[in-house]
Structures are given as structure tokens and as C-alpha cells.
Amino acid sequence: MNTTLSIDQIWKLLHSIPDPEVPAISIVELGVVRNVEFTDADVVITMTPTYSGCPALKAMEDDIKSTLSKEGINSVKVKMVYKPAWTTDWLSEETKAKLEAYGIAPPVGRSSDQLLPFATLKTKVSCPFCKSENTKLTSQFGSTACKALYYCDGCHQPFEHFKCH
Amino acid sequence: MEEKELIKEYCLRLGDNGLILGHRLSEWCGHGPILEEDIAMSNMALDLIGQARGFLGYAATLEGKGRTEDDLAYHRDAREFRNRMLTEIPNGDFAVTMMRSFLFSAMAYLHFKALTKSKDETLSGLAEKSLKEVTYHLRHSSQWIIRLGDGTAESHEKAQTALEELWMYTEELFETDEVDTALIKSGIAPDLSSLKKEWMTMVEEILYKATLKKPEMNTYQSKGGIKGNHTEHLGFLLAEMQFLPRAYPGTSW
């Protein structure tokens, strides 16, 4: 691959690309970029989807290509892998704080808590606005595949929760 | 059949399940009984169509004839579809839609869980991904079954009717053939028939909570989706789903 940029510099560039649906965090912070490597002819970016049908994937791919193209890298291949499956366990505490500051309650608990379909989930989701734990689930599905809808009985505001997945 | 061919056939079954049930759920978009539920069904549809892309894409790669996931989705006729019949049954009322999702997701949950142990890396990866999603679908639909069944007299009756209407397609969820036999032997696929007992336990647990009565075991059961035998409903579904790419080949927007 004919470029003066290093792998690290490419990671930095990717870090500047916001998630198309949750622009408060970058696609790297979201955990969907798994690997960056050079082959003879291309930069190969390996990605994994958050949810199988996430419509933002295409937008992310386009954003990656246009960002790298501005740096003179035009031969970019985006490879999709399914394993290991994306999980919110990969979100750092810093990323979770960014979500909360943006008004989205971050995931609570570990992904493995979610494996039993009939178990009652005991996790408490705090309101991102007033921090009250007096909240309730309105809908398990929200405006995007990765979010659920909640209502805060403390400040009487509806809010979105980034589901633990 | 060569192993590649067997896995391709297996992927068509899984991919078509997702594609057809995903399309059915998408028909609710804009018609849901409440906004949250409209969004929920569209979200589940998206997950299922996403899963279909993964499995059909892999099927197309294994086939190696230059066909894509889109070709498989839009340019096959009903007899070439390998989905379980339950997934093609029309939406009916909300109780039918939720009962169909519940009965199907319980099977898909067990199936994907077992398939994560497949010796085929791509299959186990796709299964790991899909498992998380169908767990969510199962949680959602089972909660609705309890609310409907243990709700008002009317919602109870509708849920019971839905269960009785759909029961004849449940045995077929576990139907296997020589493709399964060969793939079980090579450690690529789990034995579906061994999952049926666990499925029944899960279904019974929810039906009990929902105060619904499980239909008689010896009722008539439809068979043959994996061999391309379908109800009359599939053709109509495909007519709508495939119209655009067939009328305007190669179109994009």
C-alpha cells in the first residue's frame, strides 16, 4: 500500500468519524472497527456490525472511504466479520460518560446478563438528565436498533437507553 | 452432495426464515397498534433481514456462480424458498403476529445457541450475532403473549385463537432431512430434532403464565418448507417483495 501514513495515524483518522446515529461517540469508540491493516494494494478496514440489520453500516463505510480519501488513500477495502459478535461490553467508561452527557443512558451491566430470555432484568437504568433511578421501560425498541425507550418518573422526561447487548 | 452444497442449502433455510418473517413484520410498519409497537416490529424486521443478508450472502459465496444475496432474495420463485412455513403465515391480528414471533423465536433461540458451536466459522459467527437479537425478540414476544393471554376476555380469546391457528406449523420448525443428517455428522449443524423438547418446555412455561391452553398434540401438522413446499401465502408475499427488482432489473436508488 502506497501511503506515508502509519497504521496508528489511520486509527486516529477513524477516531474522528462520528457514529452516524449517535454522533457523540466515534465509530472506534463504538467498537465496530476491529482491525486496520495494509495489503499490497489496499488499506483493509475490518468491521463488525452492532446489529445485523443496522442501516448505519453503509453510512459508516462511506464515511470511512471519504475520510481516508481526503488523505489521499483511495483504495480502501472494508471487510465485515461477525466473530466475535459486537457487544456493549467493549464500550469504555469514558465512552459511556459521553453517551450520558449526550442524553442517552449508557448500557448497564454485562452482555452475559441478557442471555436468558425469560429472566426478569433487575438492572436499574438512571435518567441521563436528573440521574434518578426512578425510571421505567416504555418500549424495548427505540429509534435505532441499539436503543430502548425509557421514562423518568423523577423529572418526567422520556429518554433513550443504549441497550446492554 | 458436496459439503459446500450442503452448507449452502442450510444457509438458504436460515436466510429465508429471516427474510420472509422480516418481510411479514415490515408489513406492520406504519400500521402498528401503538407507536412503540410499530417501532418494535420494524426493529425486529430489520434484525431478521440483516440476518438474512448474512446467511444468503454466505450461500451465494458458497455457490460461487456470481449470484449475490439480492439475486437470491429477489430472483427465486416460491418453490425455491426454504423457509419454515410458520414465517410466511399472514400477520392476521396483533395476537397472530406476536404468537408467530413467539413460537418462531423460541425455536430460533435454541437453534442459534446450538449453532454457535458449529465447526464452520462463518456459521458460528452468524449464529452468535443472531442469537443476541432473537433473544430480544423472544423476550418481547413472550411478554406480549402473557399480557394478551392473561389480559381481558377478548385479548385472551384472540391469543388462544392465534395459538390454535398456528399450531399446525410448529412441528415443521424441527423438520430435518439428509442435509441435516450429513451436517450433524461433520459437526457443522446441531440436531434440530433434539431441541424440540426444550422448545416445548419454554413454550409451555409462557403459555401457563398466559393462562392459554396448549392445543392437542395430535392435530394435523403441515410439512415441507425446507423442500420448497409452501402455503399459498408465500407467492403473494413474493409478488410484493420482488416486484421492483423484477420489473426494473438492476435498478438502484
Provide long-range contacts, Cβ within 8 A and 24+ apart, for B118-124. Answer: B118/B187, B118/B188, B118/B189, B118/B190, B119/B186, B119/B187, B119/B188, B120/B7, B120/B188, B121/A83, B122/A82, B122/B58, B123/B7, B123/B10, B123/B11, B123/B58, B123/B188, B123/B189, B124/A83
Q: Tens of pLDDT along chain A (165 residues)?
A: 677 899 999 999 999 999 999 999 999 999 999 999 999 999 999 999 999 988 899 999 999 999 999 999 999 999 999 989 999 999 999 999 999 999 999 999 998 888 888 987 777 999 999 999 999 999 889 888 899 999 999 999 999 999 999
Give the integer Cα–Cα distance in Å for B25 and B134. Answer: 14
A141 to chain B: nearest residue by CA? B40
Question: At residue B235, does pLDDT exceed 90?
Answer: yes
Q: Do B50 and A138 touch (CB under 8 A)?
A: no
The x, y and z cell numbers of residue B63, run together, are: 455457490
Residues of A in contact with B135 (CB under 8 A): 114-115, 117
Q: Do B140 and A140 touch (CB under 8 A)?
A: yes
B47 contact A CB<8A: yes
A163 to chain B: nearest residue by CA? B136
Q: Do B40 and A55 touch (CB under 8 A)?
A: no
- Predicted confidence at residue B250, as pLDDT, reads 85
What is the least distance, in Å, from the CA of B109 to any CA of chain A? 9
Burial of B35 (0-12, 13-18, 19+ CB in 10 A): exposed
- Predicted confidence at residue B97, as pLDDT, reads 98
The x, y and z cell numbers of residue A132, run together, are: 434518578
pLDDT tens, B108-156? 999 999 999 999 999 999 999 999 999 999 999 999 999 999 999 999 9
Give the integer Cα–Cα distance in Å for A64 and B128. Answer: 26
ipTM computed for the complex:
0.89
pLDDT tens, B193-213? 999 999 999 999 999 999 999
What is the least distance, in Å, from the CA of A49 to any CA of chain B? 9
- Predicted confidence at residue B162, as pLDDT, reads 98
- Predicted confidence at residue A143, as pLDDT, reads 86
Mean pLDDT, residues B15-27: 98
Residues of A in contact with B199 (CB under 8 A): none
B23 contact A CB<8A: no
Q: Mutate which of B129, B133, B134, B139 to disrupt the A interface (most A C-beta within 10 Å)?
A: B129
B32 contact A CB<8A: no
Give the integer Cα–Cα distance in Å for A59 and A64. Answer: 9
Q: Do B124 and A83 touch (CB under 8 A)?
A: yes
A146 to chain B: nearest residue by CA? B43
Residues of B in contact with A138 (CB under 8 A): 36
- Predicted confidence at residue A112, as pLDDT, reads 85
Give the integer Cα–Cα distance in Å for A146 and A86. Answer: 11
Q: Do A141 and B43 touch (CB under 8 A)?
A: yes
What is the least distance, in Å, from the CA of B138 to any CA of chain A? 6
pTM passes above 0.90: yes
- Predicted confidence at residue A28, as pLDDT, reads 97
Residue among A55, A85, A117 minimizing CB distance to B129? A85
Question: At residue B80, does pLDDT exceed 80?
Answer: yes
Separation in Å, CA B23 to CA A46, A97, B44: 29, 37, 10
Give the integer Cα–Cα distance in Å for A87 and A110. Answer: 9
Residues of B in contact with A49 (CB under 8 A): 50, 129
- Predicted confidence at residue A114, as pLDDT, reads 84
B38 contact A CB<8A: no
What is the least distance, in Å, from the CA of A46 to any CA of chain B? 15
- Predicted confidence at residue B252, as pLDDT, reads 83
Q: Could you tell me what percent of chain B has a pLDDT over 90?
A: 96
Residue among A140, A143, A145 minimizing CB distance to B46? A145
> Which residues 220-239 on chain B approach chain A with CB closer than 8 angstroms?
none
Question: At residue B160, does pLDDT exceed 80?
Answer: yes
A121 to chain B: nearest residue by CA? B139
